[in-house]
Structure 1
Amino acid sequence: MGEKIKRLSLELTRIASVVGTRGEIKAVEYIYNYLKKVDYFIQNSRNLQLKDLKNDSLNRKYVMAFLEGKKASVNTVLLLGHIDTVGTDDYGDLKEYATEPEILKQMLSKKSFDEEITNDLKSDNWIFGRGIFDMKTGVASQMVMIEEFSEQLEKLQGNLVFIGVPDEEGNSAGMLSAVQDLAELSKEKGWEFIAAIDTDYMTGQYTGDENKYVYIGTVGKLLPCFYVYGKETHVGEAFSGLDANLLASELMKEVDLNYDLCDVAGGEATLPPISLHQRDLKTEYSVQTVNAVNLYFNFATHISQPDEVLEKLKQKAIMAFENTIRMLNENYRKYCELSGTPYKRLPWRTRVFSFEELYKNVKDEIGKEIDNKLETLTDELLKMGADDREFSLRIVQEVHKHYSDKNPVIIIYFAPPFYPHIFVEGANQREAKLLNAVEQAVKEVREKYEYKIIVKKFYPYISDLSYCSISKNEESIRKLVNNMPAWPKKYSLPVEAIQQISMPVLNIGPYGKDAHKLTERISQSYSLDAMPMILQKTIERLLS
């Protein structure tokens, strides 16, 4: 089995399938044509399909294949993987060899790297190449599972579905299309998805970490944004205004890498929020101070829903505003003492709104006029092809522009993308069955191999797994939608379809190093022996 996975991994890697290119279609077609030769699909051709992505400008496709076990059951396991990769510009003068593993390793050996990479280049254990680790070895292992189980249908009490999708490294267009088709499939067949298994990459969590990890559940992600509106002034009258840069900097201090905002569940914590963007919105040089700044953060979740994250960040924004006002008054008082100027407390007061609150205030003032203006702006931005983040900011600015209150304020909103977290607690029969299946599979593999395999709660990297489940709490979804200006004209999720197929998730990935780097590589040990065995045994137990 390991040698077959290796061969398929190398063949898939040789197909350059950078996200957003025609190569994604070639990779999907390769998988389709491979499975088309499997006896089961020769006899059951309707169970192997090339599916179009919905509303995709590149006309991309994904592949779906499903096995129906001899022992009839509604229980269905989903195998999912992505066939796209990030770009290859990081390879520099070796770019043409990025997807040629054998040649690439020889060429990299002529370069200078640190001791660890140099030793791996000398070792026969490591295979280098763009996508070999993230995640073509994982996809190859799923293809082999489909082929293997197609010859052992008597072992399956239920059904096994495989999807190979594009665009995971982009906007998950492949998975979001597949989710809708999976919902239709489950309705048509009367199936119930009991678990989703991804085989995305797995690596050490710290320097020198030799542990191998299996993850039950996955991290989520929000992109909370802040529109900070101050009060402009001439630099010669600095204390007459409120510098938006100063307020934004205080907000950055309150949020960026603040451990208070780690999301803790099941004894595991997310990384704290980290800034992805901070920019003042002044477009020219002048001696007028900055009156508007935009910030946004990567906010990882394990258990907090969008409404809870919004409230946490609102409190941080209030604190930042209060700290700024206090600091300004202290500095102004000291300045007045130095300059012999009478001191009078500055007029600023703390004001923090969500986008939903801002919109309501403006709607109360001018009624449907704001909706007409937003519709016009939306059409312009869509024609321009504005980025999701820029689109969101422009909508916020437009709403604020028509607000009669021009005092300093912080507006909190969400921008795309949104990845729901999935916490598998064992709270229901499906979750308990998945936890037990993994525990038994890992136990069996530990008895055969000496790897130290650790089962953890949350896959720590953003992936398509997130779209296998979403909260059914209406208030949480409402808060997300009402505070995401890009929804639904620029961005949306098939919420009902995701809720329909909602299932616990698992990642059993190959082991390697340096995903998204020119030294991306896979370890043949573990990836081609223990990992496939854990995958196979888990599937068997879920469908037994």
Structure 2
Amino acid sequence: MDEVINKESLANRAERIEELAVDLTRQRSVTETVEEQLATEKVHHFFQQMTYFEENPDDLFFVPVPNDKWDRKSVIALLRGKKDPTNNKTVVLIGHTDTVGISDYGDLKHYAHLPYELTEKLKERKHLLPKEAREDLDSGEYLFGRGLFDMKTGDAIIMTLMEEIESKLDEFSGNILFAAVCDEEANSAGMRSCVPEITRLRDENKLDLTALINTDYMTSEYPGDEKKYVYVGTVGKLMPSFYIVGKETHVGEAFKGLDPNQLAAELTSRINLNTEFCDTVEGESTLPPMSLKQRDLKPEYSVQTAKSAHVYYNYATHTQTPDIVMEKMKQVGKDAFEAVMDQLNEHYRNYCMLTGRQFEPYPYEPKVLTYQELKERVIEDQGNGVVDQLNRAKQKWLLDDSVDEREYALKEVELLQTMWKNQEPVIIVYFTPPYYPHIYVKGETTKEKRLLDAVSHAVDSTESDYSLVYKKFFPYISDLSYASAPNNHAEVGALIDNMPGFGTKYKLPLEDMQSLGLPVCDIGPFGKDSHKFTERLHKHYSFEVAPELVSKTIDGLLNG
């Protein structure tokens, strides 16, 4: 009888998750639009209807994103169990409510947020779909829709589990703290503004925060991969950047200058997808770095070559800290500069042989500095008045909404370099926002051991037709990273000193993140093609198996 009741209960849970997931998806909430507010208001309204929050309104509140031109906000809900008031163990859950855009849906964009309707519409043109998407559509096992997979089903899982717990609070020991955050798909402004609130709640209520669980999506890691993953820990991200100053010249005197584009190209050839920069731990490797932007900074067309160029890369980490990455990038900058000078001298020597001219080597010595080193040299040259001049420019940029964190960092480096007396070719290495710390759960602390045990038990005790495995690092950039941060001064100093705009344009609650220091995991729904028009969710795993894994992990953290 108990087994029948349990199966019926799980079926009801699956139906409720699907209902909520579809309802959340129907509310369009494209990142960096005012629509994001409507999604968080829907989540807030959901909790507001619960008896617990009617009686404890202070445990449910909005967290605005400071100085946000879209007036976006996140939601925090703290649900306190009543079975044992002395049990202050608290599991932190997070999920994002925004999605990427819908332009990729073409003439079906008005159906993008309507899962049932979109799935039916796609059947009318399934011959136009990629083979795998067509097969999944025919199987009847998938629902299509923007945000259903990434990650409103994950939000629905948390909301449904909290709804279940709230209905039996007298039997529940411990607490659940849920942050439904905005802006995850862009700059994580929602999570960054929630972290200080989480630490405030912890301190004011003497909560013992055990771990942080995200229910973001999970997918196949390679073609033919049938495994379903639970991730303990998360990948991190840095954006090493290069401001490259060459020597401009008329194209009719090509060998009298130094093209910064050539230096940028050499950097990219040495960094882009180079597996030497993969961060491998316990058999798991990050993806290699990838160029995200490369351009010269010449504003107009003319036959004069560019003076400067700019390039930055996505650099994923498992254990490498900012100081290590900075040293690696500084070295590759030196190697690239030397290689370009050798190549140019060879080309010029050959040209002199062709034209009968006398060859003289290029006069430029390879020079590579970090942003902090540049700043020190400029102050040494010009005095502390440089800082005042820089601060005046910063205030102007801060008032300009068209200047984002990345452009702000570039402007600061660019201005500082022009203030230096030495205007010879140089490469300046720095970090562009954002920064996502990696979190490596080694099992060395009590909290790490508790999370590993809880996840292991959840995976081992969950009966399903799937091959359930857990791995060390969630492989996608996410808000999981903000649950912790390095405490080592050298590691953090390399970031702060070499990220222009840190603390002004780019706000990171670093001290709160260090104070949290939580181990993390991701247990999410399964699907395919996130951020593509064929984005789709596997119904059975996502509505039935993933919720059970999350529920068991929560139980293990609170009662294990």
TM-score scaled to structure 2, two decimals?
0.94
Tell me: CA distance 1:210–1:155, structure 2 relative to 1, closer, same or farther (3 Å). Answer: farther
The yes-or-no answer on 1:120 pairing with 2:160 is no
The yes-or-no answer on 1:311 pairing with 2:327 is yes
Q: Of 499, 514, 533, which aligns to 1:518?
A: 533
Alignment partner, residue 78 of structure 1: 92
Check whether the contact 1:421–1:466 (CA below 8 A) recurs between aligned residues.
yes
Q: Of 186, 203, 212, which aligns to 2:202?
A: 186
Check whether the contact 1:77–1:542 (CA below 8 A) recurs between aligned residues.
yes
Task: Find the residue that maps to 1:543 and give its secondary structure.
Answer: helix
Structure 2 distance, partners of 1:53, 1:296, is: 27
Check whether the contact 1:156–1:543 (CA below 8 A) recurs between aligned residues.
no
CA drift of 1:244 comes to 1.4
Task: Find the residue that maps to 1:8 and give its secondary structure.
Answer: helix
Alignment partner, residue 18 of structure 2: 6
Structure 2 distance, partners of 1:490, 1:45, is: 34
Aligned pair count reads 542
Structure 1 distance, partners of 2:214, 2:104, is: 27
Structure 1 distance, partners of 2:416, 2:47, is: 52
Structure 2 distance, partners of 1:16, 1:151, is: 29
Structure 1 distance, partners of 2:121, 2:396, is: 48
Tell me: CA distance 1:186–1:332, structure 2 relative to 1, closer, same or farther (3 Å). Answer: same
Check whether the contact 1:146–1:162 (CA below 8 A) recurs between aligned residues.
no
Task: Find the residue that maps to 1:297 and give its secondary structure.
Answer: strand
Structure 2 distance, partners of 1:289, 1:42, is: 67
Q: Of 350, 373, 376, which aligns to 2:392?
A: 376
Q: Of 104, 112, 122, which aligns to 1:98?
A: 112
The yes-or-no answer on 1:26 pairing with 2:38 is yes
Q: Which runs of 5+ in 2 are unaligned?
A: 1-12
Check whether the contact 1:101–1:129 (CA below 8 A) recurs between aligned residues.
yes
Task: Find the residue that maps to 2:389 and give its secondary structure.
Answer: helix
Q: Of 426, 431, 434, which aligns to 2:451?
A: 434
Structure 2 distance, partners of 1:326, 1:68, is: 67
Structure 1 distance, partners of 2:360, 2:73, is: 66
Structure 1 distance, partners of 2:398, 2:146, is: 33
Alignment partner, residue 41 of structure 1: 53
Q: Of 138, 156, 160, which aligns to 2:176?
A: 160
TM-score scaled to structure 1, two decimals?
0.96
The yes-or-no answer on 1:464 pairing with 2:476 is no
Q: Of 346, 359, 365, which aligns to 1:330?
A: 346
Task: Find the residue that maps to 2:199 and give its secondary structure.
Answer: helix
Q: Of 353, 362, 365, which aligns to 2:381?
A: 365
Structure 1 distance, partners of 2:372, 2:171, is: 53
Q: Which runs of 5+ in 1 are unaligned?
A: none
CA drift of 1:122 comes to 2.5
Q: Please, which moves more after superposition, 24-33 or 52-61? A: 52-61
Alignment partner, residue 280 of structure 1: 296
Mapping for residues 101-500 of structure 1, pairs under 5 Å: 101-111=115-125, 112-153=128-169, 156-385=172-401, 386-445=403-462, 448-500=463-515
Check whether the contact 1:156–1:540 (CA below 8 A) recurs between aligned residues.
no
Structure 2 distance, partners of 1:327, 1:405, is: 24
CA drift of 1:292 comes to 1.1
CA drift of 1:423 comes to 0.7
Task: Find the residue that maps to 2:88 and give its secondary structure.
Answer: strand
Structure 2 distance, partners of 1:284, 1:38, is: 60
Alignment partner, residue 540 of structure 1: 555
Structure 2 distance, partners of 1:130, 1:347, is: 56
Task: Find the residue that maps to 2:116 and give its secondary structure.
Answer: helix
Structure 2 distance, partners of 1:44, 1:288, is: 68
CA deviation vs aligned residue, 1:407-438 (integer Å, no higher than 9, x gap): 11100011111111111111111101111110
Structure 2 distance, partners of 1:155, 1:124, is: 38
Structure 1 distance, partners of 2:261, 2:537, is: 45
CA drift of 1:123 comes to 2.9
Check whether the contact 1:217–1:422 (CA below 8 A) recurs between aligned residues.
yes
Matched-pair identity in %? 46
Q: Please, which moves more after superposition, 132-141 or 519-528? A: 519-528
The residue type equivalent to 2:458 in the other structure is A
Alignment partner, residue 29 of structure 2: 17
Structure 1 distance, partners of 2:295, 2:46, is: 49
CA drift of 1:524 comes to 0.7
Structure 1 distance, partners of 2:324, 2:255, is: 36
Task: Find the residue that maps to 1:145 and give its secondary structure.
Answer: helix
Task: Find the residue that maps to 2:293 and give its secondary structure.
Answer: strand
Q: Of 67, 71, 75, which aligns to 1:59?
A: 71
CA deviation vs aligned residue, 1:390-420 (integer Å, no higher than 9, x gap): 2111111111111111111100011111111
CA drift of 1:293 comes to 0.9
Structure 1 distance, partners of 2:50, 2:304, is: 70
Tell me: CA distance 1:285–1:45, structure 2 relative to 1, closer, same or farther (3 Å). Answer: closer
CA drift of 1:380 comes to 2.5
CA drift of 1:153 comes to 4.1
The residue type equivalent to 1:150 in the other structure is E
Structure 2 distance, partners of 1:155, 1:134, is: 32
Structure 2 distance, partners of 1:541, 1:320, is: 51
Structure 2 distance, partners of 1:86, 1:404, is: 45
Structure 2 distance, partners of 1:213, 1:429, is: 24
Task: Find the residue that maps to 1:443 and give its secondary structure.
Answer: helix
Structure 2 distance, partners of 1:50, 1:314, is: 43
The yes-or-no answer on 1:506 pairing with 2:518 is no
CA deviation vs aligned residue, 1:46-101 (integer Å, no higher than 9, x gap): 32333333333333222222222322233221011011111112111111111111
The residue type equivalent to 1:535 in the other structure is V
Task: Find the residue that maps to 2:118 and give its secondary structure.
Answer: helix
Tell me: CA distance 1:429–1:156, structure 2 relative to 1, closer, same or farther (3 Å). Answer: farther
Task: Find the residue that maps to 1:207 and give its secondary structure.
Answer: coil
Check whether the contact 1:193–1:502 (CA below 8 A) recurs between aligned residues.
no
Alignment partner, residue 50 of structure 1: 62
Structure 2 distance, partners of 1:263, 1:166, is: 29
Structure 1 distance, partners of 2:528, 2:96, is: 18
CA deviation vs aligned residue, 1:338-395 (integer Å, no higher than 9, x gap): 3222223322211100010001000111112212221222223223321222211111
The residue type equivalent to 2:162 in the other structure is I
